[in-house]
Structure 1
Amino acid sequence: MSFLARIDDCNRWATGDFTPFFVAGEQLGMVRWAFADALCELLGTSFARTDEGLHWTRAPCGFEARTEAMAQLCDALIARGFISYRHGEAYPVTSGRREDARFLIDRACAPYFGIRAFGQHINGFVRAADGLRMWIARRAADRRVYPNRLDNMVAGGLPWGIGLRENLRKECAEEAGMPTELADRAISVGAISYCRASKRGLKPDVMYCYDLELPEDFAPRCQDGEVAGFALLPIEQVADLVRETEEFKLNCNLVIIDFLVRHGVLTPDHPDYLEIVQRLRSLV
């Protein structure tokens, strides 16, 4: 195993399996060919396939109208079994920044259309007498995605209508029982991108990353049932878990690898160092 293998795990997709998704002439995602065919067959002239890709030909004009039309479309696809479920959080549909959203889509429906999603991940760590230690979460057994897998101390999606700092505080409170004044110590350290095919479609996602140095007397306690428990592990053990096992939820590996680079645990002496650094942000 290797750190590059973990990066590869988050970037497995074949361009030939997908076709661009266009709205008003702008590419906003990528869809599987079978999903594109289903949309054209089920919804007639609302969608059309060309050599260029799949076009939402009857998308209404305007943010609100398109958002409502997409919600109705997803409901119809759920009723027909082409989409599994709704998550209940609205995500921006954008070709770039989340602030430039063209309309909104439910979080669980976004991968079917290959829509870029945004999230926030926090590296919670302690400077102990014997070196760096990192708080690692164990996801609850009833989680729909990656049950029982290891996770960052705090991590979550970034829905529409909430700012980054506000969402960070909310996630810290829900997932780690952390007071606002402690959550506000989290330092933004960059963003990581990846693109991965999944059962639902394509995930060309961006994660905003944060470091949060914690006092030794703080212990996270989950408040919303999403985490089964936490462990404070030596950073060398965390690095071994990332490199040698598949214990972590896939994208959490990337966040930790980035931490290892920035804190001098993974150094330029490593033979894959430059490739690792470059590939963590290849899509941003």
Structure 2
Amino acid sequence: MRFIDHVAACNDHDASRFVPFTIGGVTVGRIRPLFAELLKPWPAVFSVTDHFVALNCRETGLIERSAQVAGVLEQLIALGELSPFHGERYAAAPQGGASPLLLIDRAMAPLFGIRAYGQHVNGYVRSPDGLKMWVSRRAHDRQHYPGRLDNLAAGGLPYGISLNENLAKECWEEAGIPGHLARQAVPVGAVSYHMDTEKGFKHDTLYCYDLELPEDFIPECMDGEVQSFYLWPIEEVRDVVKNSSEFKLNCNLVIIDFLIRHGYIGPDDETYLALLTALHPAMPPLEPPTG
């Protein structure tokens, strides 16, 4: 196995199997035709053709539009077509971080293929024995990736909360990192990926943070997501990423980015230049909407 194999696994996407999801003529996501079929009974809200799905409701306000879409999805949940809401909302927006055009429950984001954001923290320690990294093991009762290795703290970025507030919340809930330490996390960039899933399309961007922790800090999970923590030499973390699938899939990308920036993956690696590009891939294009 090579580092690039993990990146390729996160970018397994066939654009030909999707149609654009548009709002006001602007593409904000991509939808599988099977899901588009489920939306046809609500023509006042969605315009569905063989080539695109467009938001068709007359509401002009963000909250009103979002409520109409949520109403359709609630009916599909009641019919047993969709899984229940998660409870957090993500914003559907054009490329480039413009103002949101629609708010969609987190559980529904892959169905609409909207861009989602997360925050991942590389917690590390400079010890007399060298650089070490804290990694966590997810609880076995987690819905996604049970029992797999994870970053010290990570989570999605819902609508309506700032990056700093969400980072502090995730640091506390997942690893018991107090606010004064969480505020020392340094934003160091982002990684992105495009992946087909059973539900739809994940278009994710993960903001990456490096957080140097004191040697006497011991993480403690506060919300039940993590069952154990390990403080490993960075060389061991590197070898586990390279030679196994132990880590939650997207965490490999965050750690690979850390290893590159700190010199633990260098130009002598045959995939070094490919990695630099692959961690920031261009979005595979869709056929333009017609009709």
Runs of 4+ deviating beyond 6 Å: none
CA distance in 2, matches of 1:120, 1:192: 10
Could you tell me how far 1:39 is from its partner in structure 2?
A: 1.3
CA distance in 1, matches of 2:76, 2:253: 33
CA distance in 1, matches of 2:111, 2:90: 13
CA distance in 1, matches of 2:48, 2:85: 26
User: Counterparts of 1:172-183 in structure 2 under 5 Å?
Assistant: 172-183=171-182
Change beyond 3 A, Cα 1:97–1:83: farther
CA distance in 1, matches of 2:117, 2:96: 10
Of all paired residues, the percent bearing the same amino acid is 49
Could you tell me how far 1:45 is from its partner in structure 2?
A: 5.0
- Name the SS for the 2:21 alignment partner: strand
Q: Which amino acid aligns with 2:187?
A: S
Could you tell me how far 1:155 is from its partner in structure 2?
A: 0.2
Change beyond 3 A, Cα 1:99–1:184: farther
The residue number in structure 2 matching 1:14 is: 14
The residue number in structure 1 matching 2:91 is: 92
The residue number in structure 1 matching 2:289 is: none
Question: Are 1:199 and 2:198 counterparts?
Answer: yes
CA distance in 1, matches of 2:26, 2:117: 20
> Does the Cα contact within 8 Å between 1:23 and 1:59 map onto a contact in 2?
no
The residue number in structure 2 matching 1:53 is: 52
Deviation per CA, 1:208-264: give whole Å up to 9, x if none: 000001111001100111111100011111111111111111100000000000000
* Mean Cα deviation higher: 22-31 or 248-257: 22-31
The residue number in structure 2 matching 1:156 is: 155
Could you tell me how far 1:69 is from its partner in structure 2?
A: 1.0
Q: Which amino acid aligns with 1:21?
A: F
User: Counterparts of 1:17-28 in structure 2 under 5 Å?
Assistant: 17-28=17-28
Deviation per CA, 1:176-218: give whole Å up to 9, x if none: 1111111111000001110101111100111000000111100
> Does the Cα contact within 8 Å between 1:78 and 1:84 map onto a contact in 2?
yes
CA distance in 2, matches of 1:15, 1:59: 29
The residue number in structure 2 matching 1:132 is: 131
The residue number in structure 2 matching 1:103 is: 102
The residue number in structure 1 matching 2:227 is: 228
CA distance in 2, matches of 1:35, 1:256: 34
CA distance in 2, matches of 1:23, 1:75: 20
Q: Unaligned 5+ residue runs, structure 1?
A: none
> Does the Cα contact within 8 Å between 1:93 and 1:116 map onto a contact in 2?
yes
Could you tell me how far 1:142 is from its partner in structure 2?
A: 1.1
Q: CA RMSD in A?
A: 1.4
The residue number in structure 2 matching 1:188 is: 187
CA distance in 2, matches of 1:109, 1:245: 30
CA distance in 1, matches of 2:237, 2:278: 20
Could you tell me how far 1:270 is from its partner in structure 2?
A: 1.0
- Name the SS for the 1:109 alignment partner: helix
TM-score computed with the length of structure 2 as normaliser: 0.93
Q: Which amino acid aligns with 2:81?
A: F
Question: Are 1:270 and 2:250 counterparts?
Answer: no
CA distance in 2, matches of 1:272, 1:82: 42
The residue number in structure 1 matching 2:4 is: 4
Q: Unaligned 5+ residue runs, structure 2?
A: 284-291
Deviation per CA, 1:104-157: give whole Å up to 9, x if none: 111111110101111000000011222211100101111111111110000001
> Does the Cα contact within 8 Å between 1:123 and 1:210 map onto a contact in 2?
yes
Deviation per CA, 1:252-281: give whole Å up to 9, x if none: 000000000000000011111011011101
Q: Which amino acid aligns with 1:235?
A: I
Could you tell me how far 1:8 is from its partner in structure 2?
A: 0.7
- Name the SS for the 1:43 alignment partner: coil
* Mean Cα deviation higher: 1-10 or 99-108: 99-108
CA distance in 2, matches of 1:104, 1:51: 24
CA distance in 2, matches of 1:82, 1:243: 39
- Name the SS for the 1:110 alignment partner: helix
Q: Which amino acid aligns with 2:142?
A: R
User: Counterparts of 1:46-85 in structure 2 under 5 Å?
Assistant: 46-50=45-49, 52-58=51-57, 60-85=59-84
> Does the Cα contact within 8 Å between 1:92 and 1:98 map onto a contact in 2?
no
CA distance in 2, matches of 1:119, 1:15: 23
Q: How many residues align?
A: 283
- Name the SS for the 2:214 alignment partner: coil
CA distance in 1, matches of 2:247, 2:13: 20
> Does the Cα contact within 8 Å between 2:57 and 2:68 map onto a contact in 1?
no
